[in-house]
């Protein structure tokens, strides 16, 4: 049943009373997805006023928003990474903060601290820039490990502890962390266990000639498009609820699990030659993220159920930072994406 429309019986269960129950569910879910289509179209339209040729990056940001995950962006400077999240925040009418990570940054600069008031003899809390809806952690690998750990703890726990009191973060709290793949001098690479906590790692490439021509034209005209708020945080929370009800057939779940298993033991997919190239495969967190993100992708495409093609479409972004290659793979010039291409081609599609 490969392909976007390849779900047998319209994506319903295949037997007995489960089939009729699933039929009602899928129809209801389809109606719920359609109800959000207009808001989603307005949101994409507003972001498209400013961002040219970065539809894939915007799609991944929306997937992270709809699933409560965070994104690690890798790309050279000047590819509109900051503009993307700022524009999205403006379109959703939500606060945005940009934090430039530097070697002298301290955890208190990020989270906040307690300030002593000598007149009253008491401490007051000064909250840091982490208390926002959208946070851009620019060049996260330039800050020392204590700062990286403080940020990633906030991402995982969705709360910040200052002194002896914990403060919850915004329900839509989204961290977009960037890192430059070229310049590595003076950086503190993220440990693999921390990288694994990012739901997606997105590689941002150069725009096409036509798109770059439009970007240059807009810059020469000095025409700055104004982004109007076309959605509210409550709309995004409602969309999250709809995404959680997207139907995932058991065969599709098994396919996602087979892909993750293949990163650990490629011989199961008939690729025993890849075993010396793989140091570690993806964690169980990857299996969850693969299915959850495919749900969000189905929602963005207006579907009520997940297909194997949607699993394949999001697989690179979910798995590329969770697969560790050996020195032998690097010597052969293989990267994680090339290895995943081979696994995706080998694992049977239901």
Q: Mind listing the pLDDT tens digit for each residue in 138-155?
A: 888 888 888 888 888 888
**pLDDT of the residue at 223:** 63
The answer to whether the beta carbons of residues 148 and 195 sit under 8 Å apart is no
Structural domain boundaries in the chain? 8-35+246-346, 69-231
d(CA 11, CA 183): 47
Low-confidence ranges of the chain (pLDDT < 70): 1-24, 182-186, 222-224
pTM for this prediction: 0.85
Residue 146 near residue 196 (C-beta atoms within 8 A): no
Residue 185: the pLDDT is 65
Residue 250: how many CB atoms within 10 A of its CB?
Answer: 10
- Could you write out the DSSP letters of every residue in 55-71? HHHHHHHHHHHHHT--E
Placement of tokens 């982490």 in the chain: 130
Identify the three-state secondary structure at position 32: helix
**Interval 78-103: pLDDT, tens:** 777 888 888 888 899 889 999 998 88
Task: Give pLDDT, residue 153.
Answer: 81
C-alpha separations of 281 from 253, 262, 263, 302 in Å: 18, 8, 5, 32
User: Do 301 and 5 meet the contact criterion of CB atoms below 8 Å apart?
Assistant: no
Looking at residue 58, its pLDDT comes to 87
Question: What is the structure's pLDDT at 8?
Answer: 40
Topology of 69-231 in CATH?
A: Rossmann fold (3.40.50)
CATH fold for the domain made of 8-35+246-346: Helicase, Ruva Protein; domain 3 (1.10.8)
What was the pLDDT predicted at 22?
Answer: 45
To which residue do tokens 């994409």 refer?
44
């Amino acid at each position: 049943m490969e392909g976007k429309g390849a779900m047998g019986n319209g994506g319903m269960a295949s037997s007995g009373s489960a089939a009729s129950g699933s039929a009602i569910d899928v129809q209801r879910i389809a109606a719920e997805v359609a109800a959000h289509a207009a808001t989603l179209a307005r949101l994409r339209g507003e972001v498209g006023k400013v961002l040219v040729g970065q539809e894939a990056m915007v799609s991944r940001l929306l997937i992270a928003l709809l699933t409560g995950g965070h994104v690690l962006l890798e790309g050279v400077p000047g590819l509109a990474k900051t503009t993307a999240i700022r524009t999205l925040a403006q379109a959703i009418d939500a606060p945005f903060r940009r934090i430039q990570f530097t070697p002298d940054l301290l955890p208190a600069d990020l989270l906040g601290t307690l300030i002593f008031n000598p007149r009253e003899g008491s401490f007051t809390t000064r909250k840091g820039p982490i208390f926002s809806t959208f946070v851009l952690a620019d060049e996260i690998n330039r800050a020392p490990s204590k700062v990286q750990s403080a940020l990633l703890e906030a991402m995982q726990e969705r709360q910040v502890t200052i002194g002896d009191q914990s403060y919850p973060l915004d329900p839509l709290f989204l961290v977009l962390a960037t890192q430059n793949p070229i310049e590595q001098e003076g950086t503190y690479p993220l440990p693999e266990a921390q990288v694994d906590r990012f739901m997606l790692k997105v590689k941002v490439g150069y725009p096409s000639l036509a798109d770059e021509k439009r970007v240059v034209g807009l810059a020469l005209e000095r025409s700055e498009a104004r982004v109007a708020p076309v959605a509210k945080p409550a709309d995004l929370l409602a969309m999250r609820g709809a995404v959680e009800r997207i139907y995932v057939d058991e065969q599709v779940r098994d396919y996602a699990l087979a892909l993750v298993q293949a990163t650990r033991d490629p011989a199961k997919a008939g690729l025993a030659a890849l075993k010396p190239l793989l140091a570690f495969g993806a964690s169980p967190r990857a299996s969850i993220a693969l299915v959850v993100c495919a749900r969000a992708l189905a929602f963005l495409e207006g579907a009520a159920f997940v297909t194997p093609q949607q699993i394949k479409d999001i697989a690179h972004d979910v798995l590329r930072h969770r697969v560790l290659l050996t020195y032998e793979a690097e010597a052969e010039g293989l990267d994680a994406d090339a290895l995943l291409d081979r696994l995706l081609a080998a694992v049977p599609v239901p």
